[in-house]
Amino acid sequence: MKRLKQNIPIQPILSFNTPSIHASVLRLDTLHPIVSGNKWYKLKFYIEEAQLQKASTIASFGGPYSNHLVAMAYAAKEFHFKSIGYVRSNEEEPLTPTLKEALQYGMELKFLGRTHFQKNKEELIQASAFHKEQSSNTYWIEEGGYGKLGAKGAATILEHLHTRNDSNSFTHIIAAVGTGTMLAGLIQSAQLNQNIIGIPVLKNEGTIEEEIKKLIPSHHENQFTLLHDFHLGGYAKTTPNQFQFMNQLWATEKIPTDIVYTSKLFMAVEQLIKSDYFPTHSNLLMIHSGGLQGNRSLSSGILDF
């Protein structure tokens, strides 16, 4: 895909460092102007399979602020597919900046409502599979890119370390968790001596551990930990302290974060360091998963970047 950055920086986070703990971040947010962060990695093998199947259309699901839908709309246009986004929203609701951007890249939007979104989604996929021979040639991608191919793509994220001989130097690899697809890929590609830590951004997400285990070989099941206490109230919930933290991180490190994923990740790691969670001489690598367009839902002036 055009404009993909090849050399992704690994940036030290000086304000997090202590005499015995070193923290850095893999800046995947710099990968591409639109398909940034982990989105391209989760999409690339689905797009490859859609090409092999000679599909004409790619369809997927997401909420009204879905980074995944925007990234898919852009990637579909780049690879000459039509795209359809089935949205967890109602047609009469105002379009979010996210959905307007998806429309700009040619995505057709269809609204499944909020109350019965999951039920409607499952019925739609089942009906499409049943009528596959008669349907237009549509390739379906699960919400957020969840699935084996999404995890396979996410497993290539750590290749940015291998090219610089950094793959063994990090003791912990830490990422925010939505669907768990990226974390599953990181688990599969990390060294066996590395600890993978996920920070779920959804409240009361009781199934996420099993969803991740479905995507990884059984011998990796004990290699990751989920820490559930850093969701700040739930998906897309925000607090004044969070905004203050995001602005402070920008002022000290020039690292932009988003309200849904990466700000919660960085806040969690800072708290964990302060509470002596990590052993002495730990070398931490956070994964910046992009998603910055989600900040557009905020009023002007709340964030400094």
pLDDT of residue 3: 86
Nearest of 116, 64, 71, 101 to residue 86 by alpha carbon:
64
pLDDT of residue 133: 46
**What distance in Å separates the CA atoms of residue 172 and residue 284, rounded to the nearest whole number?**
5
pLDDT of residue 136: 63
**87, 88, 89, 94 alpha-carbon torsion, rounded to 10°:** -60
Flag residues of the chain having pLDDT under 50. 133-134
| Tokens coding 26 | 């893999």
Burial category of 103 from C-beta neighbours within 10 Å (exposed 0-12, middle 13-18, buried 19 and up)? middle
pLDDT tens across 47-72, in order?
A: 999 999 999 999 999 999 999 999 99
**What distance in Å separates the CA atoms of residue 117 and residue 62, rounded to the nearest whole number?**
10
Assign domain 10-34+157-297 to a CATH class. Answer: alpha beta
**What dotted CATH number matches 39-147?**
3.40.50.1100
pLDDT of residue 162: 76
**CATH 3.40.50.1100 placement within the chain:** 10-34+157-297, 39-147
pLDDT of residue 134: 47
SS3 82: strand
In this structure, the strands spanning 10-12 and 21-26 are antiparallel
pLDDT of residue 256: 98
pLDDT of residue 29: 97
